[in-house]
Amino acid sequence: MKHLTLLVPDAQTGPNTISCIVGAYHVFTEANNYYKKQDKEPVFEIELVGASAQSSFVNGLLTVMPQVDIGAIRHTDLIIVPAIAAAFRKLEGLNELLVEWISEQYKKGAELASMCTGAYLLASTGLLDKKSCSIHWNAATNFKNLFPKVNLKPEKLITDEQGIYTNGGGYSFLNLLIYLVEKYYDRQTAIYCSKVFQIDIDRQAQSDFVIFTGQKHHGDEVIIKAQEYIEKNFSEKISMERLSEKFRVGRRSFDRRFIKATGNTPVEYLQRVKIESAKKELETSRKTINEVMYEVGYADVKAFREVFRKVTGMSPLAYKNRYNKLHGVV
């Protein structure tokens, strides 16, 4: 039987931390039970493992007492790192000890899986450098600044590279659990768990959940003014050459500063602003796709659809069908 470690952070926990731990325990326990019903040996021995006697959650409202101290675990096969507090800057408490232990276990052959902002702890090991990683879209900018060597892919729901798995945000950790069940058990068990827990199977992206607000905490006042100009005038035709001249910055320097500050080129930023406005219209109004397209400054249907799909992973019509309650109402 393999060993599954559900890591219990010592500090920097958030409300989703306990959800991840309980959810993982529940799903893998059910997968084991399903195997037993098929007269098969359970795949995992599941244990909650931590570096302290107990960890507090939700301002002390809830506590979790790990079953085993990390010092007693000599070998494990899969380590699941739950979400932590989103406002991560550096390791605190005994989490540093947990990170060192994760690194040691990976070298011994353990596979690693982080849920949502658990990627902060996983990235702190250095094991994610030059590897793909997903995280909640709202934490992407902070993560990029802290771990620039990681190949961040916030549009992905799940990444899988060299025995390291990561996933996007919120309760999408449930999709990662189903993915891992299929990896370690089989497809049929994954389908069974997806039905029991009512979790969509084979979901790949989180792009349509992203709410684009721009990144304005970078300190470059010129770029902030440029962002604000784009956000106020996005429906008009904006020349980036003229925009850079407006703020008295050379075009190359303007592009370089814009990318450094926001993570997007000026053209990409304009596209994101346009599409975010289009999404809101598609969610709340009875306007047609073409009406929305013209309102946000596109004249070519094909171009609008391509950019919309690039940003959200869906066509404008599919997006409207999913999110607009008024769609189809006479």
| Boundary-marking domain end, from 180, 209, 238 | 209
Position 330 confidence tier, pLDDT thresholds 50, 70, 90: very low
Between 55 and 125, the higher pLDDT residue:
125
Looking at the fold, whether 42 and 82 belong to one and the same domain comes out as yes
Reported as a single tens digit per residue, the pLDDT across 146-164 is 999 999 988 888 999 999 9
Q: Confidence class of residue 52 from pLDDT cuts 50, 70 and 90?
A: confident
Residue 85 pLDDT greater than 70, yes or no? yes
Q: Report residue 309 as tokens.
A: 């799909």
Per the structure block, which two tokens stand in for 108? 């011994």
- Average pLDDT score, the chain: 90
Verify that 161 and 286 share a domain, yes or no. no
Mean pLDDT of 72-96: 93
Question: Does 32 map to a domain?
Answer: yes
Last residue of a domain, one of 209, 235, 256: 209
Helix (H, G, I), strand (E, B) or coil at 28: helix
* Statement: residue 207 has pLDDT above 70: no
Beta strands in the chain (DSSP E): 2-8, 44-50, 55-57, 62-64, 68-69, 78-81, 111-114, 132-133, 151-152, 158-161, 164-167
- pLDDT surpasses 70 at 329: no
For the full predicted model, state whether its pTM sits above 0.95: no
Residue range(s) defining the domain that contains residue 161:
2-209
Are residue 272 and residue 166 in the same domain, yes or no? no
216 within some domain: no
Query: In the structure encoding, which two tokens stand for residue 169, read together?
Result: 């945000």
Asked whether residue 328 is domain-assigned, the answer is no
First to last CA, the chain: 58
pLDDT in tens, 102-128: 999 999 999 999 999 999 999 999 999
Here the CATH number for the domain that contains residue 147 is 3.40.50.880
State mean pLDDT over 257-283.
91
What pLDDT score does 263 carry?
Answer: 83
- pLDDT value at 208 more than 70: no
Residue 328 has pLDDT above 60, yes or no: no
Say whether both 44 and 160 belong to one domain: yes
pLDDT at res. 114: 97
Q: Examine the pLDDT at 241 and tell me if it is beyond 90.
A: yes
- What is the Cα–Cα distance from 22 to 29, expressed in whole angstroms? 10
CB atoms within 10 A of CB 46: 20
pLDDT in tens, 160-179: 999 999 998 888 899 999 99
Residue 171 is assigned to a structural domain of this protein: yes
The answer to whether residue 198 sits within a structural domain is yes
Assess contact for 222 and 246: CB atoms under 8 A: no
Overall number of domains in the chain: 2
CATH code, domain with 242: 1.10.10.60
170 with 243, same domain: the answer is no
Tens of pLDDT, residues 21-44:
999 999 999 999 999 999 999 999
pLDDT score for 15: 81
> Can you give the pLDDT at residue 210?
67
pLDDT recorded at residue 213: 73
Number of H helices, E strands in the chain: 13, 11
Confidence of residue 57 (pLDDT cuts 50, 70, 90): confident
Q: Which residues pair with 81 in a beta bridge?
A: 114
Supply the pLDDT for residue 327.
Answer: 56
